[in-house]
Chain A
């Protein structure tokens, strides 16, 4: 009976992925906590989006937490996202990683030719996984030997579709959590029959074929191996429409220009109204007597979310001509000072960046706006970064 090693082969961190919230050290601490609960996780591979962390050095963290930290890459191709392990300079020189539609056969062949290996990521997901491209376009699988069928960010239905494809075409399968946040790491893993301590070991282990996807629960001593999904008996998840792909036009001069976009007068009444709508019961926000006598600020303050009630102008417009639907993709809030009744908060917004990527719903353009909130004394009380996504949609049939 060989001694197995367990790796999470799909992890994103704040060091290299714009949409990740987990730090590398946070992941190490989380593995330590998992081990204390009887789970077996040896390490993980950082597969940042379109970004290879060439100069990152995690040896100190690796030693401190006894966790093997390897580096790979997740790139976007014309058949969805692809994980690359054993990335070499020669591989990086062949591709523009910011391209969201790299030719997949070139990617798989280049990985092989340069001493690495490529794997179809979250293969069961719409648009960004392999299955749909096989079903709809009958693409060739000649250069593809491994797919990520057990993905922690995919639904059971999506993973089931991936396992069905692997079974139908004789592909090998791996597991990866696709962690963007600390507690997701290790949700899905790959069990190797060999010990893996380097990127070269990882490539050798993947080329050997002696591995399989597992869930973290499977790594406990004596655990009964969980059943892997098939799409046959699982309902599909939320549909989100289908996309097209027009060229993107924009005004880049709008990026970085900060303008005043509005003000918010904060009153006792506006705080009370906000708290009532959210069923907020924290006495710091609603109980004047408690806030004055027991609270840390000598009186009521506003929940930071009250900034959402400001009616603001949109600010500089990069005039992006893409898609027909826009929605909110994310918000990062930082608080610096309390907001008090009587404050007048001025908001200043700039377009921080514009970029595109592909997701379940196809091609998307992200516009990140940073807004600084300053009170009447010129003190910054908070800042937000809001990501807005633009995409093209197709209506669902009734």
Chain B
């Protein structure tokens, strides 16, 4: 939960600082996300290939263990980790993610962030990852965020 007062300032950020949240995207949440975005529901039409996001049988026919979370939802989860961490006055300048393995429905995910550079005020470089309970990192990425300083 981001409160208006929970602002992070560049002055307080340290190299190596870690932060995390957890999330286990359920089938219901995936359907809700798909309904809110471009994939389905808005005009009654479904995008091609969308069934692997909602239907385990279809996912297995495509070589996947069970239904998968869409990449855009995985990206949205990691983006929320960043916006939660940086607070309302921070700004994401760049976010670069790569999807290395499927995120499956009900995976117990750790959303991980780590400060890799904070020496060029007021920009902070972050490494980001989703880690599942099997120790795999299906999403990895980086972000550059701009934070306010206490003097501004």
Contacts and interface: CB of A to CB of B under 8 A. Distances in A.
Given A290-B4, A309-B38, A333 B96 contact: yes
A25 B87 CA distance: 27
Given A29-B117, A241-B64, A396-B64, A287 B4 contact: yes
A155 B136 contact: yes
Interface residues of B, number: 59
Given A284-B88, A287-B4, A309-B38, A238 B102 contact: yes
A333 B144 CA distance: 10
Residue with the greatest number of chain B CB neighbours at <10 A, chosen from A183, A287, A326: A183
Interface string B91-129: 111111111011010000000001011010000010101
A19 interface: yes
Interface string A126-155: 000000000000000000000000000001
A33 B135 CA distance: 24
B77 to A, nearest CB: 8
B63 A394 contact: yes
B26 interface: no
A308 B34 CA distance: 11
Interface stretch (A109-117, A189-197, A274-282): A274-282
A301 B37 CA distance: 18
B2 A274 contact: no
A57 B116 CA distance: 23
A103 interface: no
Contacts of A327: 71, 99
Contact of A283 (B88, B94, B142): B88
A294 B142 CA distance: 28
Nearest to A334: B94
A238 B142 CA distance: 24
Given A283-B88, A311-B42, A241 B141 contact: no
A116 to B, nearest CB: 29
A308 B15 contact: no
A21 interface: yes
Interface string B130-151: 0000111000111000000000
A332 B71 CA distance: 12
A277 B116 contact: no
B63 A393 contact: yes
A180 B140 contact: yes
B94 A332 contact: yes
Nearest to B42: A311
B60 A396 contact: yes
Residue with the greatest number of chain B CB neighbours at <10 A, chosen from A280, A305, A387: A305
B32 interface: yes
B88 A290 contact: yes
Residue with the greatest number of chain B CB neighbours at <10 A, chosen from A240, A242, A308: A308
B63 A333 contact: no
Nearest to A29: B117
Interface in A273-317: 273-274, 276-284, 287, 290, 294-296, 303-305, 308-312
Contact of A183 (B49, B93, B114): B114
Residue with the greatest number of chain A CB neighbours at <10 A, chosen from B43, B99, B119: B99
A274 B35 CA distance: 10
Contact of B94 (A290, A311, A333, A387): A333
A326 B49 contact: yes
A365 B4 CA distance: 45
Given A241-B62, A327-B71, A334 B101 contact: no
Residue with the greatest number of chain B CB neighbours at <10 A, chosen from A276, A310, A328: A328
8 contacts: A29-B119, A182-B117, A277-B36, A278-B76, A283-B3, A309-B36, A328-B72, A393-B63
Interface of A: 19, 21-22, 26, 29-30, 33, 37, 155-156, 180-184, 237-242, 273-274, 276-284, 287, 290, 294-296, 303-305, 308-312, 325-335, 360-361, 387, 393-396, 398
Given A305-B76, A308-B75, 8 more contacts: A237-B134, A295-B88, A305-B79, A309-B38, A325-B62, A330-B99, A332-B96, A395-B61
Q: Which 9 pairs of residues, A with B, have the shortest CB-CB distance? A: A241-B63, A328-B71, A330-B98, A393-B63, A21-B142, A277-B36, A182-B116, A284-B88, A183-B127
